[in-house]
Chain A
């Protein structure tokens, strides 16, 4: 996308709405027992994945943690195959082997969701290393929560990336909480982005509740990394509306409903709708139609997942050792 083209904000509205409705449906399916295990919803944080991945090139790589439905859909993974994965079906993006926390799609350079906090950050550095080694101009986008930042994996991976000048954008989705622990009780550094300074890495703050800010800043950042061939750290301040996972009540004793409501005032989807209505780029009717279309996609994805077969028993040992 060149700067002369108009930003694809209508498409971003569509993607954010899809993620929101998809996950609301996933919550329902979890309650019905169709989805099991740990299921972490991204509701409230949609602008970060959509704006950042929207600013990347399809050939760039995406690596993320266990709160990965949003990144997967923003990267264009088929909703029905993502839903099928949540259902544990053979048609799922990881063939039913991974579930909610381990979505993968090699065809879209979607390198996976990972359940161990911080464990995927060195992998992103490694993919960046391979890009340098192979003299490619692809960039890696690595998403993680602020809960990863105190971990050893984070610091070791960032030091190497900076030392070796690897093309990685580290994107900290600071939603203020790691499970029930607010950032001020987990990090000595309240301004998380400053962690990058310890590794001589440039850093930026972006507004994770505003997709226009995420997108416009990330476009420059990603192109900067592609050209300068050195990593950059981005802290996106955002907020999760739901509990940490489906086993956590929406607002446990670690925060108040008033706090959540305060953040909902800056809802990324409503804010973008408002903006597009004001600039007359969209009408109320078009928004309604978009909602209906998305509703159809979500219902279809549930139907597809439900009807899909379980993996065959032979899958149990099929993918362990490469031939």
Chain B
């Protein structure tokens, strides 16, 4: 297996799918000549040329809508948002068109499209550039939402997304692009809707995706030193959600902490907590705890940014709470 960076894994997924299917193309700001603002599309313009790796002006609503139109007549666009903060400008297109066209047309038209790009906080980018917007998209019927946390999942899930006949939103945490991991050689896919247990444990289930998954894995090591054996479950896809794998873990540990970088109010973790409490109340030894970002726009100042985001300390505190150790 090759040891490669998350950004390379995504680049490989796109390039391999573009070689496999000439209907697939990539469009977005700076994806071509600049090789991608975060270098995910490095080398792609050279290989595929400017008709398939398309630089756009700063017109998120426009080029996303263009992608939807092209998808309706058979192409398979990958739309790159330079960051998901800017996808807000394209939300009307994504929510009112991409997500609804199949349903509104009685199944006559489909929108096989991927909208992907970095999300979440990075280092001190302040309120307009540090947002985790997964829950906004998860809320919308007609969309699928994936959020891979390691290079292997990133490649396999993105390939599935490109082959999917529905609009798929792919969140790639900005802070993950440089992280490394083993990625199998050759073609493989990871199905959308299947979670993965990233660490086995028996005392408590930690549920987290994307950057927070890595935080949970680190925190689990910390907990192990304190004699607490945490299982870490990565849903990998947020809509559809693999509740089975989650419940399986909950039945084993009887305690759950869900960790989400985004805000608490109406978050994805609220949805997961609700499902668990309905399906597994009988085995829960404590109410499900959620560790989320604070309910504030992310400030610029270093100390405040740190205070606003989930941390190992906050996770450990929540774990102790569900174990009645605090």
Contacts and interface: CB of A to CB of B under 8 A. Distances in A.
B296 A96 contact: no
Contacts of B34: 179-181, 252, 254
Contacts of A97: 126-127, 299-301, 304
A114 B126 CA distance: 11
Given A179-B37, A310-B302, A102 B58 contact: no
Contacts of A15: none
B128 A147 contact: no
A165 B189 CA distance: 57
B208 to A, nearest CB: 22
A195 to B, nearest CB: 12
Contact of B300 (A37, A147, A180, A253): A37
A118, A180, A253, A320 interface centre (most CB from chain B within 10 Å): A180
Contacts of A37: 123-126, 129, 300
Contact of A96 (B55, B127, B295, B299): B299
B278 to A, nearest CB: 32
Nearest to B60: A151
A152 interface: yes
Contact of A115 (B59, B61, B126, B301): B126
A202 B57 CA distance: 24
A99 B124 contact: yes
A320 B126 contact: no
Contact of A117 (B58, B125, B296, B304): B58
Contacts of A310: 301-304
B299 A36 contact: no
B89 A36 contact: no
B136 to A, nearest CB: 16
B58 A150 contact: yes
Contacts of A181: 29-30, 33-34, 55, 57
A311 B58 contact: no
A317 interface: yes
A60 to B, nearest CB: 25
A148, A253, A311 interface centre (most CB from chain B within 10 Å): A311
Contact of A101 (B61, B89, B128, B297): B128
Interface residues of B, number: 34
A117 B90 CA distance: 13
Contact of B301 (A118, A311, A317): A311
B123 A36 contact: yes
A88 B129 contact: no
Interface string A184-214: 0111000000000000000000000000000
A96 B301 contact: yes
Contacts of B61: 152
Contacts of B302: 36, 88, 310
A152 B129 contact: no
Interface residues of A, number: 43
B245 to A, nearest CB: 35
Interface in B158-203: none
A252 B58 CA distance: 19
Interface in B109-140: 123-129
Contact of B86 (A116, A147, A252): A116
Contacts of B301: 88-90, 96-97, 99, 310-311, 315
A88 B308 CA distance: 15
B82 to A, nearest CB: 9
Nearest to A89: B301
Contact of A152 (B86, B89, B123, B299): B89
Interface in A83-134: 85, 88-90, 94, 96-99, 101-102, 114-119
Interface string B286-304: 0000000011110111111
Interface in A67-93: 85, 88-90
Interface in A135-151: 147-148, 150-151
B62 interface: yes
A99 B297 CA distance: 13
Contacts of A88: 124, 300-302
Given A115-B128, A116-B85, A320 B296 contact: yes
Interface string A233-273: 00000000000000000001110000000000000000000
B307 interface: yes
A252 B89 CA distance: 28
Given A118-B58, A181-B55, 8 more contacts: A36-B124, A88-B124, A115-B126, A151-B57, A178-B57, A179-B34, A317-B294, A317-B296
16 contacts: A37-B300, A88-B124, A88-B301, A94-B300, A102-B127, A115-B129, A116-B85, A117-B86, A150-B57, A178-B57, A179-B29, A179-B34, A181-B55, A253-B33, A310-B304, A320-B297
